[in-house]
Amino acid sequence: MRFILFGNTFQAKKSAHAGRIINLLQAQKNEIYIGEEFYHFLTEEQGMTIHPDGIVAPDDDFTADMAISIGGDGTFLRTASYIGHRGIPILGVNTGRLGFMTDVRPEEIDDAIQSILAGQYQVEERATLHVNADGHKLQEYPFALNEIAVLKRDTSSMISIRTCVDGNYLTTYQADGLVIATPTGSTAYSLSVGGPIMVPRTGTIAITPVAPHSLNVRPIVVRDDWEVSLEVSSRSHNFLIAIDGRSETCAEGTRITIRRAPFNTRVVKRNGHHFFDTLREKMMWGADTRE
């Protein structure tokens, strides 16, 4: 098999896990390619001696049977942005903290790699969102696996967000922001601001206000093939748009359009691992603290 590795470049103490994965894969005669930034981190900053079959820059036209993301959920999201429309399945190895999407723990690396090489895994198709800002050229990658959020830029006044869904007016939110999340992202930022948990592959997105100035505004779940359009008003005449945490400033009056992307992000899951198991283990879903 041909593998491409991406990783966290801020966790020096945990870089040994990358060397371990590389050695395991090369021992089985697999091809190994490494993302350019991660390669320089491992060799120049960590002093590791590794001999991959190639180094891959984000803009290169590359292909592989599987990508391996070594880090936390943030690293997984960056890996998904590198992979983009290429359709390469991504396996997440968790060397971070929560690691909701990266469900292979360091102590499971050997068994996980053997399972992958034996074909004992599944690939889940996860919906991805695309954002367009009329009249503004987005500098960041315009696709999100987790969420797209519009947020106030300063620390004072709220913003007004006129929201339409499937061409129909929904409401105008007076709030600090608005989060539009996929089921994958429903356990991330959206959850922290009161959004619902959605099971992957349910064909839905959640629209959740951030600190709304109203008691009767609640999150709403809609179909993911419906277009969501936003028009933002702000006293500072600008606002932030955050795409899986990558943020930039937009001018007031910029019309934001969010729709499902024409491709999915493909996530590798080992056999026997279910979304509900992850909810219980990592989010302590249903835990009774009285016990």
CATH number at residue 180: 2.60.200.30
What one-letter code names the amino acid at 229? S
The dihedral built from the CA positions of residue 290, 197, 93 and 149, taken in this order, carries a sign that is negative
pLDDT at 267: 96
Q: Are residues 134 and 53 in the same domain?
A: no
| Range of the structural domain that residue 55 is part of | 2-126+264-282
CATH code for the domain in which residue 58 is found: 3.40.50.10330
**Domain total in the chain:** 2
Examine the domain organization and report whether 133 and 240 are in the same domain: yes
Q: How far apart are CA 258 and CA 164, in angstroms?
A: 10
For the chain, report the end-to-end CA distance as a whole number of angstroms. 47
Same domain for 256 and 133:
yes
Q: Note whether residue 289 is domain-resident.
A: no
User: Given this model, what pLDDT does residue 291 score?
Assistant: 65
Are 178 and 117 contained in the same domain?
A: no
Contacts 24+ apart (CB under 8 A), 96-100: 96/8, 96/11, 96/71, 96/72, 97/72, 98/72, 98/73, 98/282, 99/72, 99/73, 99/282, 100/73, 100/187, 100/188, 100/278, 100/282, 100/283
* Same domain, residue pair 139 and 178: yes
Same domain, yes or no: 254 and 222: yes
Per-residue DSSP letters for 202-262?
SSEEEEEEES-S-TT---EEEETTS-EEEEEE-TTSEEEEEETTEEEEEETTPEEEEEE-S
Those residues whose C-beta lies under 8 Å from the C-beta of residue 34, and which sit 6 or more positions away, are 4, 5, 6, 42, 50, 52, 54, 55, 56
The per-residue pLDDT for 59 is 82
Which residues, given as ranges, of the chain have pLDDT below 70? 291
In a domain, 291, yes or no: no
Instruction: Assess if residue 155 is contained within a domain.
Output: yes
Asked if the structure places residue 235 within a domain, the reply is yes
Backbone dihedral region for residue 193 (phi beyond 0: left; psi -120 to 50: alpha; all else: beta) = alpha
Same domain for 233 and 185, yes or no, is yes
* Rounded Cα distance, 41 and 43, in Å: 6
Is the domain of 197 the same as that of 118? no
Q: Is residue 189 in some structural domain?
A: yes
Same domain, 143 and 214: yes
What's the length of the chain? 291
Instruction: Note the pLDDT of residue 115.
Output: 93
On whether residue 44 sits in a domain, the answer given is yes
Asked whether residue 28 falls in the same domain as residue 99, the answer is yes
Q: Do residue 198 and residue 154 come from a single domain?
A: yes
Give the residue numbers marked as catalytic. Answer: 73
Looking at residue 66, what is its pLDDT? 96
Domain contains 287: no
Q: What is the DSSP string of 74-119?
A: HHHHHHHHHHGGG---EEEEE-SSS-SS--B-GGGHHHHHHHHHTT
Do 116 and 29 lie in a common domain? yes
Q: In terms of pTM, does the model score above 0.75?
A: yes
User: Per the domain annotation, does 109 fall within a domain?
Assistant: yes
pLDDT at 77: 94
